Amino acid sequence: MQENHTPHSNAGPDWSQGTGQRLYRHAKSRIPGGTQLLSKRPEMFLPEFWPAYYQKAIGAEVWDLDGNRFLDFTHNGTGSCLLGYADPDVNAAVKAVNDTGSMATLNAPEEVELADLLCELHPWAEMVRYARSGGEAMAIAVRLARAVRGRDKIAFCGYHGWSDWYLAANLAESSALDGHLLPGLSPRGVPRVLQKTALAFRYNDLAGLEHIMEENKDQVAAIVMEPIRSEMPQAHFLEGVRSLADKHSAVLVMDEITSGFRLAAGGAHLVLGVTPDLAVFAKGISNGYPMAVIIGRSVCMNAAQETFVSSTYWTERIGPAAALATIKKHRRVGLQELLAEGGARVREIWTRAAGKTDIKITISGMAPLPAFAFDHPEALALKTLFTQKLLERGFLGSTSVYLTYAHTPTLLDQYESALISVFSEISDVIKDRSQSIESQLKGPVAHSGFSRLA
C-alpha cells in the first residue's frame, strides 16, 4: 500500500463550535435531513460534534473546514473509494476526459471498452447497461427482471436502496403498522398497491426463501440479494438459492454494490461460487466518481429493449473513464489481497485491545469490511463514546472500517495505538459504576441507522 502520510496531531478543540457544525445547523434548514445520504448525517456518528464537512480528502486523510486533519477509519466515502480518496491514477483519467469533453451529442467510447472488460471479468455475463448510483441501478435490474418474466413479485434479502420496489416491503396492512420489517426506512409515499410485492427472507435461511417461492408460485420475477455482507454464506446456501431461482424460473440478481471489487477484481460471487443472471455494481467500481453498472445474461439484459430505461446523465463520460482506471489499477496492484490483509489487521487490533481491557465485543463482516459491536446494554452510548475519543485523537472512527489501498501499515500502526488508549479509557468508564456512560459524552447519543434485514 502507499506510504505517503505525515503524522497527525489534533489537540481537542470544541468541535460543536467548529465551522462544520455551524454549517450543518444551517444546512438542516435548507436541505431536508441536512445531507443526501442517511449514513452521512453527523448524528449517525457524533451528534453536535462530528466535523460534518470536508475541504480536502486525499488517501486516507480528511481535512475539515477548519483545517483539522483526520485519518479516516470509518466508511471512506461510504465504501466508494477502494483506492483511497483522490487516487492519482483515477484522477488522471478523469482529468483527461474533462479536458476533452465529458459530455457530447455523440456517445463515449469508454462505455464499450468498459462493457468488454466487465464481460471478460465475469465470463457468464454477455451484456451491460449503465446508471450512476446504486439505488437506481437496482431499480433497473428489478425492472428488467419483471419485464423478462412478466411477473411482479420480488423475493429479497438485505438493503438495496431507496426505490419504491424495495420500500414496498415496509408497507403493512395499515399505515400505522408501516415500517416494521425494515426499521428506519419509512415507506411513506410508496403506493399502497405495491404491498406484498417485495417479500423478505434472511441471509442463510434457505427454508425461508423456499417457503416464499412455494407460496407465490409463478409470481416471483426475481430473487435479489447481496452475495455476502456481515455473515459468511453457510455451506450450500448460495447453491440452494441458485437452484430455487432455476426451479421457479426467477431471475437471480446479485447486488454487488458493496461487496463488489472487495473480495475479487469483480463481483464477490466470483469467489463464492455462485453465478447470477444479473449483477449490479456501483460504489466500489469507480473510486468515488458516480457510476453504476448492471451486467447480465443477454436474455435478461435484452429486456432493456422492451421496457423504457433511459437517462441523459447515464451517458456522460467521467463514470466509465473512472471505472476503467479503477479496475485497471485494482488488477495491477492485486487490491483484493491488500484489502484482506488490512481487514485482518484491524480485526487483530480490535481483538487484542478488547482482550487487554476486558471489553466484550463481537466482530463480524467480510474480510475487507470488518465491524464490531459492544456486547453491553448501553452499546449505542459506548459506540458514541468510542467515536468521540477517536476524534479527539485525530481519527474519524466508528465500529466498522472500510479498508482501502491508502490504509498503509504505518497508518494501521497509528490506529492501533489510538485504539488501545481509547479502549482503555472506555474500560475505566464501564467499570466506574458511579457515573453513567452517557455522562461522559459531550453531546447526545448517536442515532442508530436502519436495519438491513441481512
Ligand X SMILES: Cc1ncc(COP(=O)(O)O)c(C=O)c1O
Strands 220-225 and 251-255: parallel
- Binding of ligand X by 368 (CB under 6 A): no
All three cell numbers of 355, joined, read: 482482550
End-to-end CA distance of the chain: 32
All three cell numbers of 297, joined, read: 445474461
Smallest separation (angstroms) from ligand X to the CB of 291: 10
Task: Give DSSP secondary structure letters for 369-386.
Answer: S-EEEE-STTHHHHHHHH
Q: What distance in Å separates the CA atoms of residue 387 and residue 379, rounded to the nearest whole number?
A: 12
Give, in degrees to the nearest 5, the angle at Cα 84 between 261 and 314.
60
With CB under 6 A as the rule, give the number of residues binding ligand X. Answer: 14
Smallest separation (angstroms) from ligand X to the CB of 159: 5
Residue nearest ligand X, CB atom distance? 134
Give the residue, chosen from 34, 51, 161, 343, that forms a contact with ligand X under the rule CB under 6 A: 161
Mask: binding to ligand X, 213-242, rule CB under 6 A, as x and -?
-------------x----------------
Smallest separation (angstroms) from ligand X to the CB of 158: 6
- Binding of ligand X by 278 (CB under 6 A): no
Unique residue bearing C-alpha cell 502507499: 2
By beta-carbon proximity to ligand X, the closer residue of 132 and 389 is 132
- Counted residue by residue, the chain has a size of 454
- Binding of ligand X by 293 (CB under 6 A): no
SS3 266: strand
By beta-carbon proximity to ligand X, the closer residue of 42 and 158 is 158
By beta-carbon proximity to ligand X, the closer residue of 129 and 345 is 129
CA–CA distances in Å: residue 169 to residues 159, 203, 247, 301 = 11, 16, 24, 25
Q: 317 to 356, contacts with ligand X by CB under 6 A? A: none
Mask: binding to ligand X, 131-160, rule CB under 6 A, as x and -?
--xxx--x-------------------xxx
Give the residue, chosen from 255, 277, 316, 392, that forms a contact with ligand X under the rule CB under 6 A: 255
Give the residue, chosen from 209, 282, 325, 446, that forms a contact with ligand X under the rule CB under 6 A: 282
Smallest separation (angstroms) from ligand X to the CB of 2: 26
Contact 359, 423 (CB under 8 A): yes
| β-bridge mates for residue 127, sequence order | 296
- Binding of ligand X by 257 (CB under 6 A): yes
Q: What distance in Å separates the CA atoms of residue 317 and residue 320, rounded to the nearest whole number?
A: 6
Interface residues toward ligand X, by CB under 6 A: 133-135, 138, 158-161, 226, 255, 257-258, 282-283
